[in-house]
Amino acid sequence: MIAPTALLALDTLLTEEEREIRNTVRRVCDKEIRPHVAGWFETGELPARELARTLGEVGVLGMHLEGYGCAGMGAVSYGLACLELEAADSGLRSLVSVQGSLAMYAIWKYGSEEQKQEWLPAMAAGERIGCFGLTEPDFGSDPGGMRTTAKREGGDWVLDGTKMWITNGSVSDVAVVWARTDEGVRGFLVPAGTPGFTVNDIKHKISLRASVTSELVLDGVRLPADAMLPGARGLSGPLGCLNEARFGIVFGAMGAALDCLETTIAYTAEREVFARPLAAYQLTQEKLADMAVELGKGLLLALHLGRLKEAGTLTPEQVSVGKLNNVREALEIARKCRTLLGASGITLEYPVIRHSVNLESVLTYEGTSEIHALVIGKALTGIAAFK
């Protein structure tokens, strides 16, 4: 028997440092996450602050950023960390993605030096948590329609509006909130506890239960002028952040798929049907082979995009190719694995159903499959099918 990733000798494409980073994150997940995550999923709770400090000690929070206490690792190293985090649970990778690729990246890319010094070192250490407020109740795929406003009053800004489906919301020390102004869309840093700023957790989720998801309500929130991110003007600011986070999903989704496939190979080798291991049947082996091939293709795609990102040539439509393909294929692998586990596949004794329902959310957040298909379609035809 060989591991699914060994089928195409994928480790030969990684540097020794990249393999060590991957293995380090895997060890942390094995020790701190896997023994507890099914319970967190079942209760709909996550010890986010404790986990953030643990992940900060490992150096994965904002690990692809330079300076301010960040590790400054390459894109592939960051992607491999996302893979291992999501192999444990999509909610864990979401915590890290939102912290590093959305909240921290927005401050790192568009913030003033004072804002960077105030927030980034503590966020890299996991001592402070951030969230990213772009999506609204009526505007997800169309962020240009946002209704949240920021108006000048003297030397201050006053924000009004609502943001929805915000990961890390209620555990965050700062929210990066995007609002419409007379100068176009601008980003603002809203510290927790600011008068008029309230956060409500979203309950009754079936997916991403081991993740904090919240609604942000801004009712006359008054901020000083220096709360605005000076380097971001227009939708290119938040969309640039989203492209960073989507890159992590390209790797992360394959982590969920890998965990499902490894679990299923082990299960079918032990489960006997008609006095033979389930793995001995041709139909089973065909399913396992098909899933291993799709997993290998997805990992090769992720690695290729990672190398392009490290070279500074990665384009948004290439990220869309990765997100569209890898999440779609990961979800199909999870569903097929569930069939091989039979009734055991719907229990939290095994991770497969948890990955499957989590991937239903990953399929639609940070750009639905339809939106990414249209991004690719525009690149191919030169014609935009949406505004």
- Give residue for tokens 């592939």: 76
Looking at the chain, list the stretches that DSSP marks H as alpha helix, in order from N- to C-terminal side: 16-28, 34-43, 48-58, 75-88, 90-97, 105-110, 113-124, 236-270, 282-310, 316-341, 352-364, 369-381
Q: Mapping DSSP to helix (H, G, I), strand (E, B) and coil, where does residue 152 land?
A: strand
Closest CA to 5 of 293, 241, 269: 293
Phi, psi of 15 (to 5 degrees): -80, 165
- Give residue for tokens 């601008």: 186
β pairing state of 276-277 and 272-273:
antiparallel
Task: Report how far residue 176's alpha carbon sits from residue 187's, in angstroms, rounded to the nearest whole number.
Answer: 6
Task: Report how far residue 1's alpha carbon sits from residue 163's, in angstroms, rounded to the nearest whole number.
Answer: 49
Q: Mapping DSSP to helix (H, G, I), strand (E, B) and coil, where does residue 274 land?
A: coil
Task: Report how far residue 206's alpha carbon sits from residue 42's, in angstroms, rounded to the nearest whole number.
Answer: 10
Tell me the β-bridge partners of 299. Answer: none
**369 contacts 324 by C-beta, under 8 angstroms:** yes
- Give residue for tokens 């150096």: 59
Task: Report how far residue 303's alpha carbon sits from residue 14's, in angstroms, rounded to the nearest whole number.
Answer: 9
Instruction: Indicate if 366 belongs to the active site.
Output: yes
**75 contacts 247 by C-beta, under 8 angstroms:** yes
Phi, psi of 49 (to 5 degrees): -65, -45
**Catalytic choice (84, 244, 294, 366):** 366
Task: Report how far residue 220's alpha carbon sits from residue 54's, in angstroms, rounded to the nearest whole number.
Answer: 36
Task: Report how far residue 166's alpha carbon sits from residue 212's, in angstroms, rounded to the nearest whole number.
Answer: 8
What tokens were used for 92? 């864990």
What are the residue numbers of the active site? 366
